[in-house]
Amino acid sequence: MNKCEIKNCERDTEDKFCTHHQMSWEAINSGFEEWQNALGTDLTWENYLIQLIEDDAVKTGDLAIDVAIFELEKVSDKKFD
């Protein structure tokens, strides 16, 4: 059994993320396609994640923010504490 890869999450998992963070990742992933359809294909994965994390108008839950930060740190130089 492994631990969830999200920083400060101690939940056990057999995959990359615990069940809670996996559900958030799936919602983020499917949401990206919806945002691209609405805003155009110029929207990048990185910019999408930044919007989820930083835009107060976007109602993003804590678990989804955890996942967005994890994914953003993989694709950019941005680091979050």
Structure tokens at 80: 């979050």
- Specify the amino acid at residue 44: T
> Within a 10 A sphere around the Cβ of 17, how many other Cβ atoms?
22
Domain assignment of residue 8, yes or no:
no
| % pLDDT > 90, the chain | 68
What is the average per-residue pLDDT within 62-78?
91
Judge whether residue 81 has pLDDT over 70: no
Q: How many domains does the chain have?
A: 1
Alpha helices in 1-81, H assignment, sequence order: 19-39, 45-54, 62-75
Q: Report which of residues 70 and 40 the model is more confident about.
A: 70
Average pLDDT, the chain: 91
pTM: 0.86
What is the average per-residue pLDDT within 24-49?
92
Judge whether residue 78 has pLDDT over 80: no
Range of the domain at 62: 20-75
